[in-house]
Amino acid sequence: MKNCSPEDCPCRATGPLNRSRRALLKLGLLTAISSPCGVFSTAIAASKPEKMRPQPGDKLVFAFGDREGQLIQSEDIKLDAKPVEAYPKFVADNAENSIVRDRSRLNMVLVMRLSTDSLNDAMKQNVSDGLVAYSAVCTHTGCTVEGWDADNKQMICPCHGSLYDATNSANVVKGPAPKPLAMLPLRLEAGHLTVAEKFSRKVGFQQQRY
């Protein structure tokens, strides 16, 4: 049996059941959920536009909820509030050619607004209007990092309790996560959250050997 690709395995998705179900439906994989994980390894190759990693110029859209698929505007992201889950979208002149890159879970990001004063020096240089985006995929074994400690500005992985410091380049405060989350630099274009550069590092996780 093939193993899952360590980067793209959607088996690692966590969160409310309806959300996971919807994500799997998007991936066209719900009927294969009981199949060996290896099914996914060839199904998820980041070669198609909807699977490609975020590209400069992409806009961010809501990943879930009532506004799923809608462009995120600056005022949608409140200071110190729980991060918003988002996907990048290539916006073409012709709407029919626009593509949400939601066919790889590795493209999901957590978007938040933080006080610029609270950021480390490296981030201050790269952050626009306090808007910060990180990969939502835990670097331990790939769960979705969906918890938020507003007091300490830490992102929490629910699977094994890893903590990432949002104000300090998502460095690991508490493991077992082995490395920081990748950052996705943003800029504002006509009030829309726009990808400024590619991910700062490889996203995803490496399979653990125990």
Q: Which residues in this chain contact ligand FES in the complex, by CB under 6 A?
A: 138, 140-143, 157, 159-160, 162, 176-177
Question: Measured from the CB atom, is 73 or 171 closer to ligand FES?
Answer: 171
Secondary structure (DSSP) of the chain: -PPPPTTT-GGG--S-HHHHHHHHHHHT-GGGTTS-TTHHHHH--TTSTTTSPP-TTPEEEE-SSTTTTSBPBGGGS-BTPPPEEEEEEE--SSGGG-EE--SSGGG-EEEEE--GGGS-HHHHHH-BTTEEEEESB-TTT--B--EEETTTTEEE-TTT--EEETTTTTEEEESS--SPPPB--EEEETTEEEE-SS-SS--S------
To ligand FES, the closest distance from the beta carbon of 205 in angstroms equals 7
To ligand FES, the closest distance from the beta carbon of 191 in angstroms equals 33
To ligand FES, the closest distance from the beta carbon of 99 in angstroms equals 29
Question: Measured from the CB atom, is 21 or 160 closer to ligand FES?
Answer: 160
To ligand FES, the closest distance from the beta carbon of 123 in angstroms equals 22
Question: Measured from the CB atom, is 14 or 128 closer to ligand FES?
Answer: 14
Question: Measured from the CB atom, is 37 or 52 closer to ligand FES?
Answer: 37
Question: Measured from the CB atom, is 38 or 176 closer to ligand FES?
Answer: 176
To ligand FES, the closest distance from the beta carbon of 14 in angstroms equals 8
